[in-house]
Amino acid sequence: MILQPRDVGWLEVICGPMFSGKTEELIRRLTRAYYARQNVQIFKPKIDDRYDDEAVVSHSEQKLPGVAVENLAQLKGALSSQVEVIGIDEVQFFDDQIVEFCEELASEGRRIVVAGLDQDYRGRPFGPMPSLLCVAEYITKLMAICVRCGNPAHRSYRLAEDPQQVLVGTDEQYEARCRRCFVEGYPSSSPSSDDHQQ
């Protein structure tokens, strides 16, 4: 059961692998807030310009107008003082200061809904996500469907050979995989082996 807060702010985190429906869920929640005549703003990091510069777009092509920002300072500059509900997509790309910022907004009585990858392409915690999950009131962990076997998938498997953590994904570069198929893709270096520990 979800307890609906009445007169306080709070933080919601939507997490999961690529293709799990995080952006769809973010759009759904913010659209409902908009219908409830609340003042809504949605942001995304500029790094993610896969589909549309100024809109948040899901893999299923659902869209919501948004503001693309280079960093947290720009986000703060673009934030309206009237805003009641704030959405942030691809929040894993912000640095750790985003955590304190979300806490501040919630303490001011606003509702913040953030969506992001909880694990990187090796199954390691991604950026500020562990801390955000820790301080949030509400957490939703979604799964995609493993493209190899059809099981629920909680990892994003990178098809391209590239060791950098941030490699902005197209549908061709990543696929959703379950635990077993993810490990089978890395026969000599599973995410539990030493070289993958942070």
Known catalytic residues? 90
Total residues in contact with ligand ADP, by rule CB under 6 A: 15
Window 124 to 163, contacts with Zn ion (CB under 5 A): 146, 148-149, 151
> 133-192: which residues touch ligand ADP (CB under 6 A)?
144-145, 147, 176
Q: Which does 148 bind (CB under 5 to 8 A by kind): ligand ADP, Zn ion, none?
A: Zn ion
**Counts of helices then strands in the chain (DSSP H, E):** 5, 12
Is residue 59 a contact point for ligand ADP (CB under 6 A)? yes
CB 72 within 8 A of CB 49: no
Residue 178 binds: one of ligand ADP, Zn ion, none (C-beta under 5 to 8 A by kind):
Zn ion
Using alpha carbons, select from 187, 130, 185 the residue that is nearest to residue 155.
185
Residue with tokens 């429906």: 21
Beta-carbon neighbour count of residue 47 at 10 Å? 15
CB of 185 to Zn ion, least distance (A): 10
Q: Among 9, 22, 42, 87, which residue interacts with ligand ADP (rule: CB under 6 A)?
A: 22
Q: Is 19 a residue that touches ligand ADP (CB under 6 A)?
A: yes
**Closest listed residue to residue 118, CA positions, set 101, 95, 141:** 141
Contacted entry of Zn ion, ligand ADP, none for residue 140, CB cut-off 5 to 8 Å set by kind: none
Interatomic CA distance for residues 160 and 28, integer angstroms: 31
The string of DSSP codes covering 88-142 is: ESSGGGS-THHHHHHHHHHHTT-EEEEEEESB-TTSPBPTTHHHHHHH-SEEEE-
Q: Which listed option, Zn ion, ligand ADP, none, makes contact with residue 141 (CB within 5 to 8 Å by class)?
A: none
Of the candidate spans 11-19, 43-51, 91-99, 178-186, the one that interacts with ligand ADP by CB under 6 A turns out to be 11-19
CA torsion 67-88-59-169 (nearest 10°) is: 90
Site residues (vs Zn ion, CB under 5 A): 146, 148-149, 151, 178, 181
Residues that bind ligand ADP (CB under 6 A): 16, 18-24, 58-60, 144-145, 147, 176
